[in-house]
Structure 1
Amino acid sequence: MPCYAIEGVIPVIDPSAYVHPTAVLIGDVHIGPNCYVGPNASLRGDFGRIVLAAGANVQDNCVMHGFPQQDTVVEENGHIGHGAVLHSCVVRRNALVGMNAVVMDEAVVGEAAVVAACAFVPAGMQVAPATLVAGIPAKLVRALRDDEIAWKLAGTQTYQDLTRRCLASLTEVQPLPAAEPDRPRVRAPDVKSLIASKRGQATTTKVFTDPQP
C-alpha cells in the first residue's frame, strides 16, 4: 500500500487490521485492532494525528485529515461510509457517518449517533448520543430507536468480518473472459439493508464465520 513517513513519523497498523493496497497513509496515523480501511481512502497524518480505534471502519474514498496539534479520531466500532470526509473531529464509539457526509473541525458525533448520508456537520457541532442528524447544515431529526442502533452495530460487525475475510483471501487477479457455469456468490454475512428491515424483513446480527477444523 502507499504508506509514507514524514519527518520520520511512520504510520502504525495493528496486524489484525486490514488496509486496502490502494489506500494512502501518511505520517502520524494509528490504525487499531480489527479495523478496515477501504480502497482509495486517504488518511493524512501530515498535520494532526489520525486515529482509528479497535473495530472501526473507514470505507472507500474517505478522507481523514486535520489541523496541526488536533487529532481526528474514530472511536471503537465507529463506522465511516463511502466517500465521507472527517476533518479535525471526533466520532464516538459505535457512531455512524453516512456516505458522502462531511464532519468539520472540532465537531463531535456522539456515541451511537448517526449522521445521515450527504449531511454537513458544521465546525463545533455536538451531535447528541443516539440521535440522527441530517441535512446541510446538519440538524437534529430525532432520537434513534434501539433496533436502529442494533442495525448499525450489525453493519459494523460485517466490516469487522470483512477485515478477517480480506486478510485471509483477498488477492489481486486477472479477470476472467466469461463467467464460469454455476458461478458461486461471495459468502458474505447475512445482514439486510435498513430499508429492507423497515419493510418487515428481519435484520440479523449473524456474522458468517468458517467452521473451525
Structure 2
Amino acid sequence: MTCYSLDGLIPVVDPSAYVHPSAVLIGDVIVGPHCYVGPLASLRGDFGRIVLEEGANLQDTCVMHGFPDSDTVVERNGHVGHGAVLHGCRIGADALVGMNAVVMDNAFIAPRSFVSAAALVKAGFECAPQSLVMGTPARVTRQLSDEEVAWKLAGTREYQHLTRRCLEQMQVCEPLSRVEDDRPRIADGGFRPKAGQ
C-alpha cells in the first residue's frame, strides 16, 4: 500500500487486515481487524477521519473522504462494492453499499440496510434498519427480509476469508506466456449473487 502521514497523523492498519499494495492511505485513517481494502482504493484522511471497523470491506476503486472534523465510517461487517464513493457519511453494521453508489455527507445508512448499485444518497439522508435504498436521489423502497440480510453476511464472510487468503498467499509474480494444460480454478466458496441485486 502507499501510505502517507499528514500533520503528524499516520494511518493505522491492524495486522489482521489486508490492504492491497495499490491502495492509498493518507493521514487520519484507521483500518480495523480483518478488514479488506481492494486495489486502487483511496482512503483520504486529510480533512476528517476515515474508519473501517472490524470485518468491513472496501472494494476496488472506492473512495472514502470527508469535510474537516467529519468522520467517514464503515461499521462492523460493512460491505462496500466496487467504485463506491463515501463522503462524510456513516455506513451501519452489516450494511451493504452497491457498486458505483455515492453516499454523501451526514447520511446514515442504518444497520443491515442495502444501498443499490449506482444510487445517489443525498446529504443528511437517514433510513431505518434493514431498509432497501434505491435511486437517484435514493429513497427507501421497502424493508429487507432476514433471508436477504443473511445472504449479504455470507458475501461479507467471503471477503473476510479473502483477507486471510491474501495475507497468506498473495505475492507479486510475472505472468505466464500461455495457459497451462489442465489449469486449476480458484476454489469455490459457495456464495452466489442474488437475481436483481
Flag as ranges the 4+ runs of structure 1 deviating above 3 A.
none
The residue type equivalent to 1:7 in the other structure is D
The residue type equivalent to 2:118 in the other structure is C
Secondary structure, aligned partner of 2:43? strand
Work out the CA distance in 1 between the residues paired with 2:148 and 2:78: 15
The residue type equivalent to 2:166 in the other structure is C
TM-score by length of 2: 0.98
Work out the CA distance in 1 between the residues paired with 2:129 and 2:191: 24
Deviation of 1:188 (Å)? 4.0
- What's the counterpart of residue 39 of structure 1? 39
Deviation of 1:19 (Å)? 0.0
1:148-168: CA deviation from partner (whole Å, max 9, x where unpaired): 000000000000000000000
- What's the counterpart of residue 157 of structure 1? 157
Work out the CA distance in 2 between the residues paired with 1:47 and 1:23: 18
- What's the counterpart of residue 4 of structure 2? 4
The residue type equivalent to 1:162 in the other structure is L
Deviation of 1:8 (Å)? 1.2
- What's the counterpart of residue 191 of structure 1? 191
Q: Give matches, 1:100-119, under 5 Å.
A: 100-119=100-119
The residue type equivalent to 2:57 in the other structure is N
For structure 1, the 5+ residue unaligned runs are 199-213
- What's the counterpart of residue 147 of structure 2? 147
Q: Give matches, 1:129-148, under 5 Å.
A: 129-148=129-148
- What's the counterpart of residue 210 of structure 1? none
The aligned length equals: 197
Deviation of 1:140 (Å)? 1.1
Deviation of 1:51 (Å)? 0.3
Q: Give matches, 1:1-213, under 5 Å.
A: 1-195=1-195
- What's the counterpart of residue 204 of structure 1? none
1:62-119: CA deviation from partner (whole Å, max 9, x where unpaired): 0000011110000000000000000000001000000000000000000000000000
Deviation of 1:127 (Å)? 2.0
Work out the CA distance in 2 between the residues paired with 1:188 and 1:54: 24
1:114-147: CA deviation from partner (whole Å, max 9, x where unpaired): 0000000000000221010100000111110111
For structure 2, the 5+ residue unaligned runs are none
Work out the CA distance in 1 between the residues paired with 2:76 and 2:113: 13
Secondary structure, aligned partner of 2:51? strand
Work out the CA distance in 1 between the residues paired with 2:80 and 2:188: 19
